[in-house]
């Protein structure tokens, strides 16, 4: 997942969660320039408005080249800037719920992590009260944010 996905408030067909948190990358040194860069990104560039969100896709939970491995939380596949948003506990919890649910589904169906029926996974998560807007709602959210 990339920062462009974040800025576009991208919604994914295989999304297992929606999230909204500012990009929060800790400063690399104590210079004024570094702090100003951090402050601008945290308060302006890397901050979504109230009601806006981006999707967290299932695909960032399965490392490329692996068949039956899920990663969640800080291990996910995202660039540094997106990681500055989804590295926190609420997103990690949602990813963990999806990874655990996916593992159960994999055992029940024989589908490996890399070829899991994500539509079935999303429906299982919805039945477990995960907040995942239906496709129609996601399209409306994307239109109003464009």
Does residue 135 carry a pLDDT above 70? Answer: no
Q: Residue 10: give the domain boundaries.
A: 3-145
Does residue 136 carry a pLDDT above 50? Answer: no
Does residue 141 carry a pLDDT above 50? Answer: no
pTM of the model: 0.85
| Count of the separate structural domains present in the chain | 1
Does residue 120 carry a pLDDT above 90? Answer: yes
Instruction: Tokens 């959210």: give the residue.
Output: 141
Alpha-carbon torsion 117, 123, 129, 135, what sign?
A: positive
Contacts of 133 (CB under 8 A, 6+ apart): 18, 141
Collect contacts of 101-106 with beta carbons under 8 A, ≥24 apart. Answer: 101/125, 101/128, 102/58, 102/61, 102/70, 103/70, 106/68
Q: What is the per-residue pLDDT for 144?
A: 52
Does residue 60 carry a pLDDT above 50? Answer: yes
């Amino acid at each position: 997942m990339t920062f462009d996905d974040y800025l576009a408030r991208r919604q994914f067909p295989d999304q297992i969660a929606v999230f909204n948190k500012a990009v929060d990358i800790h400063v690399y040194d104590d210079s004024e320039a570094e702090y100003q860069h951090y402050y601008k990104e945290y308060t302006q560039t890397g901050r979504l408005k109230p009601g806006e969100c981006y999707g967290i896709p299932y695909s960032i939970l399965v490392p490329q080249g692996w068949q039956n491995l899920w990663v969640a939380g800080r291990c996910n596949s995202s660039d540094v800037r997106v990681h500055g948003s989804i590295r926190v506990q609420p997103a990690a919890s949602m990813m963990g719920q999806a990874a655990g649910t996916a593992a159960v589904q994999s055992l029940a169906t024989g589908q490996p992590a890399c070829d899991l029926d994500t539509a079935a996974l999303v429906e299982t998560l919805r039945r477990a009260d995960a907040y995942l807007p239906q496709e129609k709602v996601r399209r409306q959210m994307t239109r109003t944010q464009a």
